[in-house]
Amino acid sequence: MAKQNIYDREDFFTWFRNNRDNELNFNDCVETPVLMEMLPDLRGKKVLDIGCGMGQHAKQYSLMGAGSVLGIDISENMIRYAQEHNAAENVSYRRLAMEDIGTLTERYDLITSSLVFDYAEDFESLMRSIRGLMDEDAELVFSMSHPMATAWDGVYDRYTRTETGERLYANIHNYGIEGLRKVDWPREGYEYYHRTVSSLINSMVGAGLEIEECRESIVPEELRTMRPDLFGGTVHKPDFIFFRCRKGQI
Ligand SMILES: C[S@@+](CC[C@H](N)C(=O)[O-])C[C@H]1O[C@@H](n2cnc3c(N)ncnc32)[C@H](O)[C@@H]1O
């Protein structure tokens, strides 16, 4: 299976780190609050965070009372940053691709992932591997880019605008055509996989997961009013989709 590792490209990593360091970033303002609301009580739980990035979530889970947290990521840059900046006694980080999680030998009470599954070529196979790592009562809580946001390939502007440049509506391009998309945003050579909502759901169900909750991000009005240049387009399409699942029967 193809594995992209663009976060080890220095220009991309620098862009991502600067973006994450900026107080008004989409992760902290739009995505993370919803993900955190969907988490169960973490006290004593054994947690696996797939695509842990710089380790902010893993460290947060430890502060929320998790018994232990393992953060895995394909990127050497990310793992190094996480170890240097988000270490905690019960948090460990390991360089491992999500495609290879079948090599993990332990089981987890909670598996999380934040904006990583966009890069999975075979989503159903990933869901099956995750199910295999879940203890009987375990939960999977994850976010990814919303299919309405990934139905874009850089050919057209994201938005149709008024003559004065205001966003009128989002341009959804080839929603029904799934697969690899290559765009030059946020940096040249960026690749992700677009899937329809039904395809995501059917892959989870097909892999033996029971979906308990699904949410879509909506940016609070005060943020949209404060920074329309950044958040103004978010009423036209949701940016992120979230799922909470349990291990179902197969
Ligand atoms: C958008 S960042 C999110 C990072 C972190 N979860 C957060 O919320 O800040 C995507 C992360 O997925 C990681 N990633 C991409 N492809 C991966 C793969 N095949 N296996 C594991 N991690 C991967 C990247 O290295 C990067 O750290």
Q: Is 53 in the pocket of ligand 1 (CB under 6 A)?
A: yes
Sequence-separated (6 or more) residues with CB below 8 Å from residue 218: 234, 235, 238
In short, whether 55's Cβ falls inside 6 Å of ligand 1 is: no
Pocket test for ligand 1, best of 119, 126, 150, 242 (most atoms within 8 A of CB): 119
Contacts of 90 (CB under 8 A, 6+ apart): 62, 66, 67, 68, 69
Q: Helix crossing, 197-206 with 123-132: angle to 10°? A: 40
- Looking at ligand 1, which residue's alpha carbon is closest to its atom 8? 114
Q: Where are the alpha helices (DSSP H) in the chain?
A: 10-21, 26, 32-38, 56-63, 76-85, 123-132, 147-150, 197-206, 221-226, 228-231
Ligand 1 and 61: CB distance under 6 A: no
7 lines ligand 1 (CB under 6 A): yes
30 CB burial (10 A radius; 0-12, 13-18, 19+): buried
Q: What is the pLDDT along the chain (250 residues), one digit of tens a residue?
A: 568 899 999 999 998 898 888 888 888 999 999 999 999 999 999 999 999 999 999 999 999 999 999 999 999 999 999 999 999 999 999 999 999 999 999 999 999 999 999 999 999 999 999 999 999 999 999 999 999 999 988 888 889 999 988 889 999 999 999 999 998 878 888 899 999 999 999 999 999 999 999 999 988 888 889 888 888 878 899 999 999 999 988 7
d(C-alpha 73, C-alpha 79), whole Å = 7
Q: For position 1, what pLDDT does the model report?
A: 55
The model's pTM is 0.96
Pair type for strands 167-170 and 179-183:
unpaired
Q: For 6-149+196-247, which CATH superfamily applies?
A: Vaccinia Virus protein VP39 (3.40.50.150)
Which residues of the chain form beta strands (DSSP E)? Answer: 46-50, 68-73, 91-95, 108-114, 134-145, 159-161, 167-170, 179-183, 190-194, 209-216, 240-247
